[in-house]
Amino acid sequence: MNTRNFILPSRWPGVECICLLALAVMAWWGTACVQAADTSTAHPLTAVAAGTVVGDPTAARWNRSIYSATSRIASGNANSVPAMIRQRVPLFTLALLATVSKTGAPQQPPVFQLQEVGAGYAVPLDGSLTVIATDNPPAAAGIDMIGRQVLAANGRHLSELRCIGMNQTMQVVDVDARFYREGRPTPVIMRHFIWVEASTGRCSSCVWLLKQQAHGSLEPTADPPRWVAEGTRDDRAIYVDASQFFLGMPTQDAFALLNLPPGTDLAWSPALRQNATRSSYTAPALLQLAAAIQQALAPLQPPAQQSAERQIPPQD
């Protein structure tokens, strides 16, 4: 692989700088050009409102943090990217949030439901990680002109997160991404199974990567599916491939993620492979996927703890 450094144009840091920043965000959300979801059933996730505090369990809405991710240019030809770029990429945290509600008759144990899943970009404000408007961030955030360009580009990609199946306690969410696999940035679908435990209100997720085949079907990559705890913070390392710059400007293959969010790897079973690759999920298909994930989780804990911690109960 050619790892030559690119030559900065003499007009730097003008329009080229802004274009580089905008293209950099493509590595982790959007632009992978894998469109396998059934668009008749898929719908975009809700944008989380500005001012929402990430991970506030007392809030009526957006009271669960599924996970949050802050990216950094970290490997490959990272030093080919100017310091002014590297310093701004980690400024914004992608927050995947959920609203969990509690119902139940008096004197009865509560029943928790997953009402919605949404996403937004957040920065520290008044001591709390807080979602901000990507097209008009508050002055208190102290974001400069270049940072605003990065944030605006991030915001435009939020609409590409899509729900492809849901019931009262589960949702499946897809996003197009690029991961560094097989020696190059590779377009994939990053799929999230998000689940709230009905008896406790605790959230968890399972994340895996899918690659589109030549005939259009989806297949899991070699990466094992990963079980991710509620509130996980993801330090997203970005790989830079300097051979994918043209005349000093990055193409969409210049940046790629390296790893899934931190968590516990599961083993692929035939049932999980079969159910993990659907283009969308009807109610029965969603339960089949949940059962396959449950089966994959079972060996990780002693039998006495399975129901208490990681069991996904069947639903009607």
Q: Is 274 a member of any domain? A: yes
Mean pLDDT of the chain: 83
- What was the pLDDT predicted at 219? 96
Tell me which amino acid residue 262 is.
Answer: P
From 118, 314, 311, 283, select the one nearest 227 (Cα to Cα). Answer: 311
Q: Is 70 a member of any domain? A: yes
Given a cut of 50, is residue 31 above it in pLDDT?
Answer: no
Q: Is 134 a member of any domain? A: yes
Lowest mean pLDDT among 182-186, 199-203, 301-305: 301-305
With 0-12 CB in 10 A as exposed, 13-18 as middle and 19+ as buried, what is 57?
exposed
Q: Is 124 a member of any domain? A: yes
- What was the pLDDT predicted at 216? 81
201, 100 contact by CB (below 8 A): yes
- What was the pLDDT predicted at 201? 94
Given a cut of 80, is residue 211 above it in pLDDT?
Answer: yes
Tens digits of per-residue pLDDT, 55-90? 999 999 999 999 999 998 887 777 777 777 788 888
**Structure tokens belonging to residue 95:** 């927050």
- What was the pLDDT predicted at 247? 67
**Residue 56's Cα: distance from chain center in Å?**
19
Given a cut of 50, is residue 251 above it in pLDDT?
Answer: yes
What is the extent of the structural domain holding 152? 15-309
Q: Is 316 a member of any domain? A: no
**Structure tokens belonging to residue 168:** 């009262």
CA dihedral sign, ordered 307, 308, 309, 312: positive
Q: Is 32 a member of any domain? A: yes
- What was the pLDDT predicted at 6? 28
The helix/strand/coil state of 303 is helix
75 versus 240: the higher-pLDDT residue is: 240
From 265, 29, 17, select the one nearest 158 (Cα to Cα). Answer: 29
What radius of gyration do the chain's Cα atoms show?
A: 20
Q: Is 2 a member of any domain? A: no
- What was the pLDDT predicted at 190? 96
> How many structural domains does the chain have?
1
232 versus 37: the higher-pLDDT residue is: 232
Given a cut of 50, is residue 10 above it in pLDDT?
Answer: no
Tens digits of per-residue pLDDT, 256-288? 999 999 999 999 999 999 999 999 999 999 999
From 59, 62, 58, 39, select the one nearest 49 (Cα to Cα). Answer: 62
- What was the pLDDT predicted at 225? 98
Q: Is 213 a member of any domain? A: yes
* Model confidence, pTM: 0.84
38 versus 168: the higher-pLDDT residue is: 168
